[in-house]
């Protein structure tokens, strides 16, 4: 888009330039317009593909940059692209004075492009909140997606699970974890361990249903298993194997590798539905009105590529 916008602006400028100074090699204003348009579009496109896109991709993938620094770096890269394009056009017979014009155009057009995206996102009610401070040890480039867009963002991100198998599930105290995808080798504390590629950690209320019947839910953490023969006053839910969850989760994953993810659904407040094969469905629904950075409902991440975690909190969605 930036290349097209730049080429049209430059074409009009040089059509006017050659009309005012007829000594230039192009006498016909309309012809010069098409010539400049073709040269500008071809060169801008080539330079953007070779240099602009890789630079923009690198900037976008950077984990340490704030949104403001990314915008600054992208603008500077656009200036660089403008200079390179002007050098190429000088070899085609255009005056050397086009260099500052293209540099300015690269900067202006890149910012116009960002402004367009911002306004487009506002119309979709996508609110982007940028954290410019190292707030309580969190990353500088936290981007929080809010309200009406949350549903689409969640479905898009967790859509990576569709077609993958549920390999394992369990708990760490009251945190419910699930593993999807291939078994991979990871290094943890200097030791090689087997793990599952995708992890889903749930800290809010949840339930698993089968044909409209609840077969397991978050409150099962606090109920004794059928094998418990002690008094209720002696029951310690946090001991592995003591509670109903520990007992029933085994029956769900006993046919390991059999359940597959078929579909992902969500809502506007961070709720999640994972439709599994054989009629199973996992539902997670945030049940707290807390809206600080500690109010985590659930998170999703990939252990293989070590990418930022996709975290749903009371503030929205964070990538940390």
> For residue 182, is it within any domain?
yes
> For residue 162, is it within any domain?
yes
- Structurally, the chain folds into a number of domains equal to 2
Q: Please tell me whether residues 203 and 166 are part of one structural domain.
A: yes
Angle between helices 98-123 and 2-20 (to 10 degrees): 140
pLDDT digits (tens, 9 = 90+) for 31-86: 555 565 566 666 666 666 666 556 656 655 555 445 556 566 666 666 776 677 66
> For residue 197, is it within any domain?
yes
- Report the C-alpha gap between 232 and 94 in whole angstroms: 88
Q: Please tell me whether residues 254 and 168 are part of one structural domain.
A: yes
- Report the C-alpha gap between 148 and 267 in whole angstroms: 9
> For residue 245, is it within any domain?
yes
- pLDDT computed for residue 149 by the predictor: 75
> For residue 274, is it within any domain?
yes
> For residue 225, is it within any domain?
yes
Please indicate whether residue 20 or residue 206 has the higher confidence score (pLDDT): 206
- pLDDT computed for residue 42 by the predictor: 64
Nearest Cα neighbor of 267 from 280, 282, 286, 281 is: 286
Is 80 exceeded by the pLDDT of residue 151?
yes
**Element (DSSP H or E) covering residue 110:** helix 98-123
CB atoms within 10 A of CB 300: 21
- Report residue 97 as tokens: 């004075």
pLDDT digits (tens, 9 = 90+) for 229-261: 888 888 999 999 999 999 999 888 875 558 999
pLDDT digits (tens, 9 = 90+) for 255-306: 555 899 999 999 989 999 999 999 999 999 999 998 776 789 999 999 988 8
Q: Please tell me whether residues 164 and 218 are part of one structural domain.
A: yes
Last residue of a domain, one of 68, 90, 123: 123
Q: Please tell me whether residues 279 and 201 are part of one structural domain.
A: yes
Q: Please tell me whether residues 171 and 311 are part of one structural domain.
A: yes
Last residue of a domain, one of 123, 154, 178: 123
Q: Please tell me whether residues 168 and 305 are part of one structural domain.
A: yes
Q: Please tell me whether residues 111 and 164 are part of one structural domain.
A: no
- pLDDT computed for residue 132 by the predictor: 31
Is 50 exceeded by the pLDDT of residue 133?
no
Q: Please tell me whether residues 157 and 66 are part of one structural domain.
A: no
The pLDDT > 90 percentage for the chain reads 37
What average pLDDT does the segment 157-182 reach? 95
> For residue 131, is it within any domain?
no
For 43, the domain range is: 2-123
Q: Please tell me whether residues 213 and 308 are part of one structural domain.
A: yes
Q: Please tell me whether residues 156 and 219 are part of one structural domain.
A: yes
> For residue 129, is it within any domain?
no
- Distant-in-sequence, close-in-space partners of 219: CB < 8 Å, separation ≥ 6: none
Give residue 112's pLDDT band: very low, low, confident or very high (50, 70, 90). Answer: low
Q: Please tell me whether residues 173 and 52 are part of one structural domain.
A: no
Is 70 exceeded by the pLDDT of residue 318?
yes
- Report the C-alpha gap between 9 and 22 in whole angstroms: 20
Is 60 exceeded by the pLDDT of residue 125?
no
Q: Please tell me whether residues 183 and 311 are part of one structural domain.
A: yes
Residues in the chain: 320
* Phi, then psi, of 217 in degrees rounded to 5: -150, 170
């Amino acid at each position: 888009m930036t290349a097209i916008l730049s080429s049209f602006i430059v074409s009009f400028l040089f059509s006017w330039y050659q009309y005012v100074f007829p000594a230039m090699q192009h006498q016909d204003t309309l012809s010069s317009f098409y010539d400049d348009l073709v040269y500008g579009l071809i060169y801008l496109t080539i330079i953007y593909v070779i240099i602009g896109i890789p630079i923009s991709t690198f900037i976008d993938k950077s984990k340490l940059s704030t949104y403001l620094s990314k915008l600054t770096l992208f603008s500077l890269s656009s200036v660089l692209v403008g200079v390179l394009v002007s050098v190429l056009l000088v070899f085609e017979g255009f005056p050397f004075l086009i260099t500052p014009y293209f540099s300015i155009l690269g900067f202006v057009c890149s910012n116009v492009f960002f402004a367009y995206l911002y306004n487009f996102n506002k119309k979709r009610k996508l609110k982007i909140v940028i954290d410019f401070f190292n707030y309580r040890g969190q990353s500088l480039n936290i981007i929080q997606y809010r309200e009406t867009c949350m549903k689409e963002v969640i479905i898009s991100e967790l859509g990576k699970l569709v077609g993958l198998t549920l390999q394992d599930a369990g708990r760490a105290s009251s945190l419910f974890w699930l593993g999807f995808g291939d078994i991979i080798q990871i290094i943890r504390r200097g030791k090689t361990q087997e793990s599952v590629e995708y992890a889903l950690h749930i800290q809010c209320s949840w339930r698993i249903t089968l044909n409209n019947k609840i077969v397991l839910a978050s409150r099962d953490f606090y109920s004794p298993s059928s094998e418990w023969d002690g008094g209720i006053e002696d029951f310690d839910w946090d001991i592995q194997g003591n509670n109903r969850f520990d007992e029933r989760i085994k029956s769900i994953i006993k046919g390991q590798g059999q359940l597959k993810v078929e579909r992902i659904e969500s809502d506007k407040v961070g709720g999640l539905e994972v439709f599994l094969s054989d009629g199973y469905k996992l539902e997670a629904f945030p049940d707290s009105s807390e809206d600080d950075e500690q109010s985590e409902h659930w998170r999703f991440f990939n252990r293989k590529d070590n990418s930022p975690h996709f975290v749903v909190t009371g503030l929205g969605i964070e990538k940390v």
